[in-house]
Amino acid sequence: MTDSSVMFGFDLTRVENTRAARKTKMHTFKKSFTQQMPISESAIASAVEVMRTGRLHRYNTVNGELSEADLLDKQFAKYLGVTYCLSCASGGYALYIALLCAGVKQGDAVLCNAFTLAPVPGAINNAGGEPVLLETTEDLTIDLDDLANKIAQSGAKVLLLSHMRGHIADMDAVMAICEHGGVALIEDCAHTMGADWNGKKSGTFGLVSCFSTQTYKHINSGEGGFLVTNNDEVMAKSIIYSGSYMLFDQHPTLPPIETFKDIAKGTPNFSGRMDNLRAAILRPQLAALDAQCERWNQLYRAMEKALSIVNGIRLTQRHANEHFVGSSIQFSLPDFSPEQCAKFVIRCAARGVSVKWVGDSQPSGYSSKYNHWEYLEGFAPLPNTERVLACLIDMRIPLTFDESDADSIAQVISEVLETL
């Protein structure tokens, strides 16, 4: 009788053993890429105390009391070394009023990254401006030659610069180009709280800068943000725009009172201030920010090292002057087609590794690409950006991970790439 394990010229037992070996080899990752660190007990206690008072609004105080929002404004201004801070309901709202304070009016051209997130062109649109998109380099910063050219071509007087995914352009060069072109800089520091360029903190270069405290940012209030500036008039306008009514003189980081003479009654109220409850949650987190940033960078370096030996990957390069905060990591798959990139995302997800393909033809989740924003009137071709984003992969690095997780994640990525 013929052995049923040997048929048609090959050994079925050997085939099954090979399949089993492959199954054993295929790794999976079990931790969540969207799980934040818990809110600290001190922050919870502060929030509970605010709720016990019932005084949630930032101007709802008793005599001589500084509200939690007041204290947060002072704390963040001191942390950055700036004169003024305004805590806002969201980072997107902060961007919107920053644009208004910079003088953006209906139909004005505003320069911004093509590689950014939807709230950035959304804020420009909200302010009545027309985004002029800037090309992206291989290392995910704006193309400085394109910046200089488009300042001359567009006549734009404002640059809304996103330090997208924590990648900081040569800020000395950016400032020189802006000054030469008479362009005001607004920094979007949603991904660079705690970072710096050549020792100068991100958010201290521009006329006005904005930060986010949305859940996936460096400190977490669910939603929220900051506007910071050293300019008296910008701060006065921001205070009125944000909903101070005629209580503006109670703001803890206050420009000279005479600054409000023509501003207080001539500036609309858009009511976008942060409340005391969120401020109470943020203050202890801000006190621990630098330690958190260092922890992120340890995880980033571990991930960078693990991915550096994976065939087919190009890691984004960092400038020596850039002290970043590595809460996410980006890499490219330059030898892979769009179809392979799509399969890569799906197969990684099936193995527990959550990544985003930036070049996807359709937006998903929090991610979108410049040509997904169909409300934009039209823009010049962006061949470099298209090429860079076509094979770009984005991955979060939560603080709930350990350095040892980097090897497990890289193993999954390596094995998935071998199947494409």
Secondary structure (DSSP) of 286-300: HHTHHHHHHHHHHHH
Has residue 19 got a pLDDT over 50?
no
What are the pLDDT digits (tens) for 145-165?
999 999 999 999 999 999 999
What are the pLDDT digits (tens) for 307-365?
999 999 999 999 999 999 999 999 999 999 999 999 999 999 999 999 999 999 898 88
Domains of the chain: which residue ranges? 41-287, 289-419
Domain 289-419 -> CATH class = alpha beta
Average pLDDT over residues 185-212: 98
CATH topology of domain 41-287: Aspartate Aminotransferase; domain 2 (3.40.640)
CB 195 within 8 A of CB 205: no
* Exposed e or buried b per residue across 290-311, where buried means at least 16 C-beta atoms within 10 angstroms of its C-beta: eebbebbbebbebbbebbeebe
What are the pLDDT digits (tens) for 369-399?
999 999 987 788 999 999 999 999 999 999 9
Q: What is the rounded distance in angstroms from the CA atom of residue 127 to the CA atom of residue 158?
A: 12
DSSP string, 19-44: HHHHHHH-----S-SSPPPPPPHHHH
pLDDT band at 64 (very low <50, low <70, confident <90, very high): confident
How far the first Cα of the chain sits from its last, in Å, is 42
Tokens of 139: 């290392």
* 3-state SS, one letter per residue, for 358-376: CCCCCCECCECCHHHCCCC
Tokens of 240: 């009125």
Average pLDDT over residues 171-187: 98
Longest dimension (CA), the chain: 104
pLDDT band at 25 (very low <50, low <70, confident <90, very high): low
Could you tell me which residues come within 8 angstroms of residue 376 by beta carbon, excluding any fewer than 6 positions away? 121, 125, 131, 370
The DSSP letter of residue 65 is P
Has residue 2 got a pLDDT over 50?
no
Mean pLDDT, the chain, integer: 93
Would you mind telling me the total number of residues written for the chain in this entry?
420
Q: What is the rounded distance in angstroms from the CA atom of residue 200 to the CA atom of residue 202?
A: 7
CB atoms within 10 A of CB 166: 27
What are the pLDDT digits (tens) for 228-280?
999 999 999 999 999 998 999 999 999 999 999 999 999 999 999 999 999 99
Supply the pTM of this predicted model. 0.92
